[in-house]
Amino acid sequence: DAMANRRANVIKTGWTDASMRVNVGVTTHVVADRQLHAARRKLLNHAFSEGALKNLEKFVLANIREWCGYMAEPKENGEKDLQWGKERDMAQWSTNLAFDVLGDLCFGKSFNAMKQGSSYIQKLIMSSSVFQMTIAYLPIREFIFPLTKPSILFVLGNETIKQKVKYRQDIGAMVQDRFAVENSNSGKSDHDQRKDFFHYLLHAKNPETGETFKPIDLVGEAALLVAAGADTSSTAMSACFFYLVRNPRVLRKLQGEVRATFDDVEEIKWGAKLTGLPYLRGCIDEALRMSPPVPGLLDRRVLPGGMLIDGHNIPAGTVVGAPTYTVQHNEQYYPRPFEFLPERWVEGSEPSVTGFEVTPERVSMAKSAFHAFSSGPRNCVGKNMAYMEMLITMARTMWLFDIRLKEGDRSGEGGPELGPGRERAGEYQLTDWFISERHGPVLEFKKREVF
């Protein structure tokens, strides 16, 4: 209730609080004031409307085609099993894809992660998150916070802050080039104009107040979209691959659904045919349930006046929240919570597979407890864009390739030797730094024979 209810008497705290202190400038994600957030969010929404998504799709598709090309790359001569392609670490390759998509959409230029490998920017997003998470929950954080100003950290030689400054400079240059493209848009027909995130952010206007993004905010918001959209979509896709290769029954069923629906890979696009595939959506939602890319506490601080939550009076200043990983493994909502069962999302699925009746009530309970994208006024603005990317990537991969786990690969998997909380073999391991650190799985791809 503290999250979903627009009028809940709470504000954001924790990681976002730390972010406000460490970073210069404010973005929609971290701004605490609720009215200021609502005004910013109205502008940001422009970039995610249905109309905008239609125009964004061609950039997403171009990157996914390139990604599939890399998955098809053959092994070096002399290696065994030449009909299977090169080994691909999905944690890395899903990030490369998501990252290049966002470079293209936010700054009009791919980051070339697929071509050149991981860049300092990918590492920076993770190291910033680790840094912010560490100081956000220190018991002595009130004493530490004054020392975490960017200027002080820069003098102290903090590498993350130095790289942040470089990132700002680099995206400043990219934005200048992107402005030049926008200026040349004016002479072009509507169809030929480049309509990416940058375009929509630049032209976003609040119809009531006439407010627009200031140029400095525009750069910050574009950088936010890269940080918010890359590791999240990538965790979801690598988790989905992780569970598919460990569950051959599910993999075969998903391949069957996709291959029977589309006659050609180029038919796989954003639209009713794709979004209407129940098992594909079930696989993605099940991966998001078991491995939520933002797995932890989205904490909120109760404001003066307190708040009534579930019959309890919560006094002002209390920090409240429920970690998404925990909610999404609650047996009450998700029977057999540690099993990858896409059928739980599909009404009428065979009880012989699930071990329980998948009634409409059960599906609706599962949907209402699903919080991978958060809920309420501060939920994920990029949800539809993320589904577009995930559905197209997973469907095209299933259509084009057979996939298998590299022999002996256990990267990313839990096990008794890893200690308490990580002992489950077969569970994809996430480390919660607000976004998720993870490894593997390493897969091989084989082009499917299509007659």
Residue 229 makes contact with ligand HEM by CB under 6 A: yes
Question: Nearest approach, Cβ of 68 to ligand HEM (angstroms)?
Answer: 19
**Under a CB-based contact definition with an 8 Å cutoff, are residues 25 and 31 in contact?**
no
Site string for ligand HEM, 245-284 (x = CB under 6 A): ----------------------------------------
Residue with Cβ nearer ligand HEM (61 or 358): 61
Residue 297 makes contact with ligand HEM by CB under 6 A: no
DSSP label at 413? Answer: B
**Under a CB-based contact definition with an 8 Å cutoff, are residues 293 and 232 in contact?**
yes
| Residue 272 in tokens | 């009713």
Radius of gyration of the chain (CA): 22
Q: Is 240 annotated as a binding residue?
A: no
Among 232, 247, 255, 349, binds ligand HEM (CB under 6 A): 232
| Residue 230 in tokens | 């890359």
Residue with Cβ nearer ligand HEM (158 or 318): 318
Residue 436 makes contact with ligand HEM by CB under 6 A: no
**Under a CB-based contact definition with an 8 Å cutoff, are residues 298 and 136 in contact?**
no
Positions in 364-383 near ligand HEM (CB under 6 A)? 372-374, 378, 380-382
| Residue 290 in tokens | 């078991």
Residue 239 makes contact with ligand HEM by CB under 6 A: no
3-state helix, strand, coil in the chain (%, to 5): 55, 10, 35
Among 13, 23, 28, 393, binds ligand HEM (CB under 6 A): 28
Residue 16 makes contact with ligand HEM by CB under 6 A: yes
**Under a CB-based contact definition with an 8 Å cutoff, are residues 67 and 393 in contact?**
yes
Question: Nearest approach, Cβ of 35 to ligand HEM (angstroms)?
Answer: 13
Number of residues that bind ligand HEM (CB under 6 A): 23
Helix (H, G, I), strand (E, B) or coil at 312: strand
Positions in 181-220 near ligand HEM (CB under 6 A)? none
Distance CA 102, CA 196 (A): 10
Beta bridge partners of 405: 443
Residue 59 makes contact with ligand HEM by CB under 6 A: no
Among 68, 136, 225, 254, binds ligand HEM (CB under 6 A): 225
Distances (CA, A) of 296 to 70, 118, 284, 333, 408: 33, 26, 19, 18, 31
Count the Cβ atoms, other than its own, within 10 Å of residue 171: 21
Residue 171 makes contact with ligand HEM by CB under 6 A: no
Annotated binding-site ranges: 380
Residues that bind ligand HEM (CB under 6 A): 16, 28-29, 41, 224-225, 228-229, 232-233, 236, 293-294, 298, 372-374, 378, 380-382, 385-386
Binding site for heme, by residue number, is 380
